[in-house]
């Protein structure tokens, strides 16, 4: 990617309290939406996959915003506040444990509004907006000092 993206990756790693994550890019030109997803494995690694579907929609700033959002999820995993377990009998079905008490059943065919209201998604949207503002301030200061 770019120097800005690399700096954002390090910046969000610092804010999340975790390591700099390896980012995998997947290009699906022609699709309508962009997205990003993170998963936690048993060793507490959180690989992030950025799916770039539409070159108009996926500006560098949008990708950086998505990166911040996923680093918030990584932080939630590392802190043990979010756990997601796939149903071994149905890969379209999973259960989540939020803040060690709230179990939410998830299904890949869920309505989008349901997904938007999951508490870890609400937190990720709010905190990632703050992190992007902080990063943009840092990036401007870094470039003004050159």
- The pLDDT tens digits of the residues spanning 82-92 come to 888 777 888 77
Rounded-to-integer distance, Cα 119 and Cα 104, Å: 10
Q: What is the pLDDT of residue 97?
A: 84
Structure confidence at residue 20 as a pLDDT band (50, 70, 90): confident
Of 118, 113, 10, 120, residue with least CA distance to 64: 10
Number of domains present in the structure of the chain: 1
- Structural domain span for residue 100: 3-144
Report DSSP state, residue 47. -
Report DSSP state, residue 41. -
Q: Write down the number of H helices and E strands in the chain.
A: 4, 6
- The pLDDT tens digits of the residues spanning 48-81 come to 666 655 555 557 888 888 889 988 988 898 888 9
Rounded-to-integer distance, Cα 84 and Cα 62, Å: 26
What is the reported pTM? 0.81
Structure confidence at residue 135 as a pLDDT band (50, 70, 90): very high
| Three-class DSSP category at 45 | coil
């Amino acid at each position: 990617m770019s120097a800005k993206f690399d700096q954002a990756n390090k910046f969000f790693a610092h804010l999340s309290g975790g390591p700099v994550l390896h980012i995998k890019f997947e290009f699906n030109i022609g699709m309508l939406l962009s997205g990003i997803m993170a998963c936690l494995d048993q060793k507490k690694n959180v690989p992030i996959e950025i799916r770039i579907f539409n070159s108009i929609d996926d500006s560098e700033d949008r990708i950086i915003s998505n990166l911040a959002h996923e680093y918030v999820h990584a932080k939630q995993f590392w802190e043990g506040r979010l756990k997601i377990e796939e149903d071994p009998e149905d890969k379209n079905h999973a259960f989540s444990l939020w803040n060690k008490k709230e179990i939410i059943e998830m299904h890949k065919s869920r309505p989008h509004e349901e997904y938007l209201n999951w508490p870890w998604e609400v937190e990720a949207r709010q905190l990632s907006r703050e992190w992007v503002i902080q990063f943009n301030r840092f990036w401007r200061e870094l470039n003004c000092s050159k």
